[in-house]
Structure 1
Amino acid sequence: MNFKLLSASFGAILLSIHTSFGQVTENPKVEESSVPYVKIRKVELTDANTIIHLQFIEKQSQQPQFRSQPRMPAFPDSRIPQPQKQDQSQIWLDPETRLYKPGEIDKKFKFIRAENITTTTKTAVANGDTVDFVAYFERLTPGIEEFDFYEGRSSAGNQSWNFYGIHIKNPLKKDATKSSKPVAKTTAPAKKPAAKPPVKTPQKPAPASKKEIEMAVLKGTIYNGKTKEPIAAQLSYMEGGDTLQIRSSSGKYRVGVDADEKYKFRVMARGYYGSSFSLAPGDSSGKAFNQDVYLTPLIVGETILLPNIYFETSQYTLLPESFEELNRLVDVMRDSPTVKIRVEGHTDNVGDFDKNLDLSRQRAESVKNYLIEKGIESGRIEAKGYGGTRPITKGSEDRKKNRRVEFVITEM
């Protein structure tokens, strides 16, 4: 056997192994994802690319997920038409997908190509099918060991696939210039001075696409308001006419938002009274927002304020601005069918005592009647008015805080 030939072949094999070697993270930890039916199975880092191996599973036992049909809202509304055809999904991967370093939106890595999934047309997937596909991106900078996979904001009935807090192996490279072995100095041969290169007029970089400019990130943690411990919860919001959901088992969440839109986020958790908050990213120059949420647990004897209940002045007629808050209470009672409550009305202490007492009772009754109209059994609701006998503040400037509606958990 020719030894030189064997050595050359062996060296070629080693070179091939060396050039293709990269960091591989199997089943990486993902803090949050926008959908439960797409998983990241592996992240591979080569010299040139970040390669993400994903899997789509369309289970027969679950509600079909639509990427091209109107999706079911998180909290059904009879005014929204429901999809009629639910026998398959249509999937594709948006070529505008980017990878980002959390909290540093300017550090983005572009999509290059995909395997086994289309990027310009939609492919039908029947119930029970599994699709394994691969997405290639620019190489993550060494040292970035947590990143976000952001396909886009869901719109026009399309549910985007976004993953937040993907943890991988990607250590910093050792500085090749630092070597423990001294390098022998050599005298460079004399050379003629190099001609100066022609001066080039600097070109303005191409403007970023509208999608990238408008993107911002909202993140936070949902806590038990009593124990201050993180809890599993669901966050929902409207964007582009669609109701989107994020389910968090850890309490942590991260959402990509459009800087040109205004958002109303709704937070729900089983066994807790929900909450809501608003966000207008365009009102701030920042690209990262933090919002922690504290939910009140449903415990017998717990008094919970209904913060957004409004009536006509000196009347007990509910205003439409109250319906969102009341619908949240309806959802709680539907999710916890054994819960019984007492609705309590309160006024300030200005004016006739007896009239205030009667007005507070009538307002509590109005709330009770609204719940009954929404299908909650009347036997689960008691209504009582306390007038101005139970103020929460005595200052004249904060007197409006005493005009409130609360409910108390009386039975679980």
Structure 2
Amino acid sequence: MHFKLLSASFGAILLSIHTSFGQVTENPKVEESSVPYVKIKRVELTDANTVIYLQFIEPKKQQQPQFRSQPRSSPFPDSRVPQFPQQGIGQSQIWLDPETRLYKPGEIDKKFKFIRAENITTTTKTSVANGDTVDFVAYFERLTPGIEEFDFYEGRSSGGNQSWNFYGIRVRNPLKKDAGKSAKPVAKATAPPARTPTAKPAAKAPQKPAPVKKEAEMAILKGTIFNSKTKEPITAQLSYIESGDTLQIRSSSGKYRVGVDAGEKYNFRVMARGYYGTSFSLAPGDSSGKSFDHDVYLTPLIVGETILLPNIYFETSQYTLLPESFEELNRLVDVMRDSPTVKIRVEGHTDNVGDFDKNLELSRKRAEAVKTYLHEQGIESSRIEAKGYGGTRPIKKGSEEERKKNRRVEFVITEM
């Protein structure tokens, strides 16, 4: 059916809906969503269904993904997934996954299945012209009375397509009052008359139950991203890799919520303009829980701030960078690309074991190795100073395990 005809028929559907439907929440508050171009306009709770009215607005300007050259050994791919589906120039293709579910936050076992949709396909993709709007409706099983916050989870993005996930949807859905105990008691039934015994029917052969398709278990990761100095939430972006795809979630409030496969392992990367990013790992299967809380604190980029580069590795007693360092160094490259006026001083440090002069020289060469890497990634060398301090600035004393922390690389912001 032509798109404009679909829009017209959708309007007729809205007018035909009976006004006796139950609880209605117009423009419900949504804590976080995975995409900015799909909105929940209304949630209606009938006796049988949870009815969600959504609106897709095709972005007028297509965003092109940024490509970055990286060493082959880097764990991150060269390309990143666009922030909206991009199957052709000037248009998108949309559909609603029939595996979409509604969940009660933190209680993954409480899920409500998808039933049907109106004005959007669930088996094939429909093209949408640049700038057009599509209103559509999704029907799910009825939320249990008393659940007044839920998640709309379409799934994990793949193949360059972005799934539509909404977290923390607030609706009116109060508990039902208990029915009165005024029902009349039912009289006991009399025993049936005796019957003449008949031959016992032959037993049926046991039927083998049909195989049940096992759903992938889902876990929820949630938290808030803060400024480490002020402890205030900040606008940030969280990205992670799943099944070869790089997925991104933007949060304007600092709060985030992500649905992940309980059987996978994840490495999350957190970035924000004006801050030095960080990363953390999660393996839901290693825990018996299905809900995880993880707050993140990012260091603001201000003149004089010293920031540790936590994952920089060299060959033993050498200054050759190991591939495990590239992810951390690429994070610094991103910061300097996003803030072209920032200048830094890379500082190398060793412990105080061994010859003083050799340690000083080793720390200087390690700082210079980091500077060389940044320059090879396109950062002007005039923006980077390299200096070695040997073992003159220890941060830990005591055991050998503690002294290992003195062998580190930091950078100081010298100019903004």
- Fold shared, TM-score > 0.5 on shorter chain: yes
CA distances 1:269-317 after superposition (whole Å, capped 9, x unpaired): 1111000001111112211111111111111111100000011111111
Change (3 A) 1:194 1:107: farther
For structure 1, the residue ranges without an aligned partner over 5 or more in a row are 1-16, 65-71, 196-202
- Could you tell me whether the CA contact under 8 Å between 1:19 and 1:47 is conserved in 2? no
Residues 138 and 205 of structure 1: is their aligned pair in 2 closer, same or farther, counting only changes over 3 Å? farther
Query: Match of 1:38, as an amino acid?
Result: V
- Distance in 1, matches of 2:192 and 2:388, equals 93
Residues 1:399 and 1:187: Cα distance change in structure 2 (over 3 Å): closer
List alignment gaps of at least 5 residues for structure 2.
1-16, 71-76, 81-85, 194-206
Q: Which amino acid aligns with 1:111?
A: F
Matched, 1:370 2:368: no
Partner of 1:402: 406
Q: CA deviation at 1:108?
A: 0.5
Amino acid at match of 2:23: Q
Instruction: Measure the CA separation in 1 of the matches of 2:18 and 2:251.
Output: 40
**Contact 2:50 2:143 (8 Å CA) reproduced:** yes
Q: Which deviations, in whole Å up to 9, do the C-alpha atoms of 1:78-100 show, x marking residues without a partner? A: 76468894332111101111000
Structure-2 separation of matches of 1:194 and 1:141: 41
Matched, 1:111 2:114: yes
Q: Answer yes or no: is the 8 Å Cα contact 1:34–1:163 preserved in 2.
A: yes
Residue 243 (structure 2) pairs with residue 240 (structure 1): yes
Letter in 2 for 1:130: T
Matched, 1:300 2:303: yes
- 2:332 is matched with 329
User: Match for 1:22: what amino acid?
Assistant: G
Tell me if 1:102 matches 2:105.
Answer: yes
Secondary structure in 1 matching 2:330: helix
Partner SS state of residue 40, structure 1: strand
49-58 or 168-177: which moved more? 168-177
Shift of 1:188: 6.5
1:20 Cα deviation after fit: 2.4
Q: Which stretch has the larger CA shift, 398-407 or 20-29?
A: 20-29
Equivalences for residues 47-66 of structure 1 within 5 A? 47-63=47-63
Letter in 1 for 2:411: F
The alpha-carbon distance between structure 1 residues 190 and 362, as it changes in their structure 2 partners (threshold 3 A), is closer
| Partner amino acid, structure 2, of 1:192 | T
Give the corresponding residue for 1:39: 39
- Structure 1 position 146, deviation (Å): 0.3
8 Å CA contact 2:87–2:93 kept in 1: the answer is no
Deviations 1:312-362 (A, max 9, x none): 111111111101000000001111111111100000001110110011011
After superposing the two structures, state which structure 1 stretch, 328-337 or 222-231, moved more.
222-231
Query: 1:309 maps to what in 2?
Result: 312
Q: Does 1:281 align with 2:284?
A: yes
Give the % identical residues: 83
* Equivalent-residue separation in structure 1 for 2:354 and 2:79 (angstroms): 48
Helix, strand or coil at the partner of 1:20:
coil
- Cα 1:264–1:138, aligned 2, differ >3 Å: closer, same or farther? same
Supply the distance in 1 between the matched residues of 2:357 and 2:368 (Cα, whole angstroms): 17
Superimposed CA distance per residue, residues 208-259 of structure 1 (whole angstroms, 9 cap, x where no aligned partner): 743x442111111111111222111100001111110000111111101011
Deviates more, 1:150-159 or 1:134-143: 150-159
- Residue of structure 2 equivalent to 1:290: 293
Name the CA shift for 1:186/1:142 in 2 (closer, same or farther; >3 Å): closer
| Aligned residue in 1 for 2:257 | 254
Q: Does residue 1:320 correspond to 2:323, yes or no? A: yes
SS of match in other structure, 1:328: helix
SS in structure 2 opposite 1:86?
coil
Count of residues in Structure 1 that have an aligned counterpart in Structure 2: 376
Letter in structure 2 aligned against 1:225: S
| Contact 2:21 2:44 (C-alpha < 8 Å) held by counterparts | no
Going from structure 1 to structure 2, the CA distance change for 1:134 and 1:205 (only over 3 Å counts) comes to: farther
Report the CA distance shift for 1:186/1:104 in structure 2 as closer, same or farther (over 3 A).
Answer: closer
**Cα distance in 1, alignment partners of residues 51 and 185 from structure 2:** 45
Alpha-carbon separation, structure 2, partners of 1:208 and 1:300: 60
Q: Quote the Cα distance in structure 2 between the aligned partners of 1:104 and 1:386.
A: 52
Q: Partners in 2 of 1:230 and 1:404 — Cα distance?
A: 29
The answer to whether the 8 A contact 2:69-2:377 is kept is no
1:124-135 alignment, distance < 5 Å: 124-135=127-138
CA contact (8 A) 2:309 2:410 kept: yes
Shift of 1:33: 0.9
Q: Against the structure 1 CA distance between its residues 363 and 193, is the aligned structure 2 distance closer, same or farther, given a 3 Å change threshold?
A: same
Pairing of 1:110-189 with structure 2 (within 5 A): 110-177=113-180
Q: For 2:26 and 2:233, how far apart are their aligned partners in 1?
A: 27
Letter of the aligned partner of 1:50 in structure 2?
A: T
Once the two structures are TM-superposed, the CA of residue 170 in structure 1 deviates from its matched residue by 0.8
Q: Is the 8 A contact 1:215 1:259 kept in 2?
A: yes
Tell me the secondary structure at the aligned position of residue 135 of structure 2: strand
Classify 1:128/1:336 alpha carbon distance in 2 versus 1 (closer, same or farther; 3 Å). Answer: same
Structure 1 window deviating more from structure 2 (339-348 vs 17-26): it is 17-26
Partner of 1:12: none
> Secondary structure, in 3 states, of the residue corresponding to 1:51?
strand
